[in-house]
């Protein structure tokens, strides 16, 4: 009887041990796989800090200019930066998983493309409690313990876009916004600073009103479907603002295919070469709201360093923003080309 009990106990303990070993192996593989990111540290000397940058692969913000900003601060402050991109349908789960990896990797800091999600909010606070400094991008999340938010002010984007639409429509008509899906969670549009900025910009134009906002998933096709529905169901709409480059180019296709170029004025977002080309030629896209992506990358790492050294830093850092139109497109493209040549 005792032998049977002993055998059963050993069997159970063995199964538990195998399970734990399996979980450990799975976690190790997950960490190894997920941390196959891009490293910004070329010096033979050890870095003073290790920061993990968790970024949205589909977001134009994190292009070469952003990485140039990270690299500059990495060299200035001796910080090894590990860039891990996420993508797919369950982006919030991916962000959470990578933030967990930052804990296991004993990172000193995390720069994260954050979402206003209860689980991500809790995870940010968990990392801060563990001594991992968190800098947020995309969403401010002031309700968290995060160190600082770095990026553009959504209210300012709204003001600039609203002003650009007013100029493009001569201050008369109705406008629509095609926004990214992750902002649809704001059940009350008054909570969305971007939409509030547009509304405030239109106060000086009594004959121009903000009619509707539609939310799109990632992909050109989805933006095309929404733009087609807007043109069909709301013929009074004569101005559209898109909040990212991908949606902008999707709407361009609809305007061209349906001969709506002269009926609907389009204000885009970003300095994608194709977008700038349309503005330069004076066709289809009236103007585009452009962010200084390099400045975001540079400031995000800089504020982490200052926090580690001084403990106190500003709660948010708003980076530069400008509207590119036919009046300044030539100067902007020259500046962009010179910056590109300098970094080659």
Cα separation values, 148 from 48, 201, 319, Å: 20, 28, 13
Flag whether pLDDT at 96 surpasses 50.
yes
What confidence category does residue 67 fall into, taking pLDDT thresholds of 50, 70 and 90? very high
Q: Give the mean model confidence (pLDDT) for residues 156-181.
A: 94
Bridge partner residues of 84 (DSSP)? 54
Within a 13 Å sphere around the CA of 117, how many CA atoms are in the beta-carbon half?
18
Q: Give the mean model confidence (pLDDT) for residues 146-154.
A: 93
- Taking the CA atoms of 220, 223, 224 and 225 in sequence, report the sign of the dihedral they define: positive
**What residue ranges of the chain are covered by domains with CATH 3.40.50.2300?**
35-146+294-319, 154-291
Residues in Cβ contact with 314 at an 8 Å cutoff, skipping those fewer than 6 apart: 148, 303
Cα 78 to Cα 59: distance, rounded to the nearest angstrom: 27
Q: Which CATH superfamily is domain 154-291 in?
A: Response regulator (3.40.50.2300)
Residue 153 gets which letter from DSSP? -
- The percent of residues in the chain predicted with pLDDT above 70, rounded, is 81
User: Worst-scoring range by mean pLDDT, 30-39, 167-176, 292-301?
Assistant: 30-39
SS3 content of the chain, % helix, strand, coil (to 5): 50, 20, 25
Flag whether pLDDT at 6 surpasses 90.
no
3-state SS assignment for residue 76: helix
Secondary element (H or E) of residue 183: none
- More confident of the two residues 120 and 59: 120
| pLDDT confidence of residue 188 | 44
User: pLDDT, tens digit, for every residue of 68-91?
Assistant: 999 999 999 999 999 999 987 788
Q: Which two tokens stand for residue 305?
A: 């360093």
Bridge partner residues of 323 (DSSP)? 289
In CATH terms, is domain 35-146+294-319 a member of 3.40.50.2300? yes
Q: Which two tokens stand for residue 71?
A: 């690299």
Give yes or no for a contact between 51 and 79, defined as CB atoms under 8 angstroms apart: yes
User: pLDDT, tens digit, for every residue of 219-229?
Assistant: 556 889 999 99
Give me the phi and psi of 179, to 5 degrees please.
Answer: -110, 160
Secondary element (H or E) of residue 116: none
User: pLDDT, tens digit, for every residue of 182-196?
Assistant: 555 543 444 588 999
Cα 50 to Cα 109: distance, rounded to the nearest angstrom: 7
Flag whether pLDDT at 27 surpasses 80.
no
């Amino acid at each position: 009887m005792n032998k049977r009990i002993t055998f059963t106990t050993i069997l159970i303990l063995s199964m538990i041990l195998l399970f734990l070993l399996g979980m450990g192996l799975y976690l190790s593989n997950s960490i190894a796989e997920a941390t196959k990111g891009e490293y910004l540290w070329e010096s033979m000397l050890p870095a003073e800090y290790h920061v993990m940058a968790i970024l949205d692969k589909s977001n134009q913000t994190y292009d070469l200019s952003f990485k140039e900003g990270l690299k500059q601060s990495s060299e200035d402050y001796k910080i090894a930066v590990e860039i891990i991109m996420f993508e797919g349908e369950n982006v919030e789960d991916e962000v959470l998983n990578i933030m967990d990896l930052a804990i296991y990797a004993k990172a000193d800091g995390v720069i994260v493309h954050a979402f206003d999600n209860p689980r991500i909010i809790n995870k940010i606070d968990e990392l801060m409690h563990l001594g991992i400094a968190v800098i947020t991008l995309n969403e401010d999340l002031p309700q968290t313990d995060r160190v600082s938010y770095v990026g553009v002010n959504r209210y300012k984007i709204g003001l600039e876009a609203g002003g650009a639409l007013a100029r493009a429509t001569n201050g008369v008509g109705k406008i629509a916004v095609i926004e990214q899906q992750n902002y649809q969670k704001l059940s009350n549009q008054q909570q969305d600073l971007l939409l509030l900025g547009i509304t405030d910009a239109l106060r000086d134009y009594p004959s121009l009103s903000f009619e509707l906002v539609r939310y799109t998933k990632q992909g050109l096709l989805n933006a095309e479907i929404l733009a087609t529905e807007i043109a069909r169901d709301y013929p009074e709409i004569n101005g559209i603002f898109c909040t990212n480059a991908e949606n902008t180019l999707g709407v361009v296709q609809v305007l061209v295919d349906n001969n709506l170029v002269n009926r609907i004025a389009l204000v885009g977002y970003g300095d994608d070469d194709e977008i700038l080309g349309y503005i330069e030629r004076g066709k289809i896209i009236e103007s585009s709201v452009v962010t200084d992506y390099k400045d975001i990358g540079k400031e995000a790492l800089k504020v982490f360093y200052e926090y580690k050294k001084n403990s106190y830093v500003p709660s948010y850092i708003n980076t530069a923003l400008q509207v590119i139109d036919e009046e300044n497109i030539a100067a902007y493209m020259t500046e962009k080309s010179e910056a590109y040549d300098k970094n080659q």
